[in-house]
A = this chain, B = another copy of it.
Amino acid sequence: MERRLFFLLNLAQRKLLRYADATCRAETGLSVAQAALLFELARDPRPQSELVEALPVRKAAVTGLLARMEENGLVVRRRDPADGRAWLVEATDAGRERLPKLRRLLKRFNRALQGDFNDEELDTVIRFLNHIVTWTDQQEPSASRKEHRDAAHL
């Protein structure tokens, strides 16, 4: 059996992301990371902590992402009246305007990804990807949500 699954996955995802990012920037002016965040704001306002949970990145990355997006007028943050530490994030009109185009682009990507694989095959692929997510979550039991409470093994 194939010995290079790990690197093949890396290769495929990097190439895909590189192309998707270039296309997305060219057609909408947004990076894929910004687009992913904007999708989460279809129904806003949302607390920043929820965005961190919804996205596959750590909170420090979201801080920077939001800062750049706010600079570009795509989102606005205001203090959560119920929690003086938290921010409520909202897409601006300029941000919301991007959504239809982004949705069409995402659909294009997904169609291309599906290629001519049939439902059974796609189901296998999706199960495989979910298996990766599950496995890594098991390896880093606390990393997803609770950061490094018990990361003393390093």
Among the listed stretches A65-73, A79-87, A89-97, A119-127, which one makes contact with chain B, having 4 or more residues with CB under 8 Å of it? A119-127
Tell me how far the C-beta of A40 lies from the nearest C-beta in chain B, rounded to whole angstroms: 10
Number of copies: 2
Tell me how far the C-beta of A92 lies from the nearest C-beta in chain B, rounded to whole angstroms: 23
B-side contacts of A19, CB under 8 Å: 136, 139-140
Asked if residues A56 and B15 are in contact (CB atoms below 8 Å), the reply is yes
Q: Give Cα A16 to B139, complex, Å.
A: 10
The prevalent SS among residues of A at the interface is: helix
Band of interface residues on A: 35 or more
A:8-42 near B, CB below 8 Å = 8-20, 22-23, 26, 32, 36
Given A122-B5, A154-B26, A133-B15 contact (CB < 8 Å): yes
Most buried by B among A23, A113, A132, A140: A132
Asked if residues A132 and B15 are in contact (CB atoms below 8 Å), the reply is yes
A–B complex contacts, Cβ < 8 Å, 26 sampled = A1-B119, A2-B126, A4-B110, A5-B113, A5-B122, A6-B16, A6-B106, A6-B113, A8-B129, A8-B130, A9-B113, A9-B129, A10-B32, A10-B36, A10-B56, A12-B132, A13-B13, A14-B57, A15-B56, A15-B136, A19-B136, A19-B140, A23-B139, A113-B135, A117-B128, A117-B131
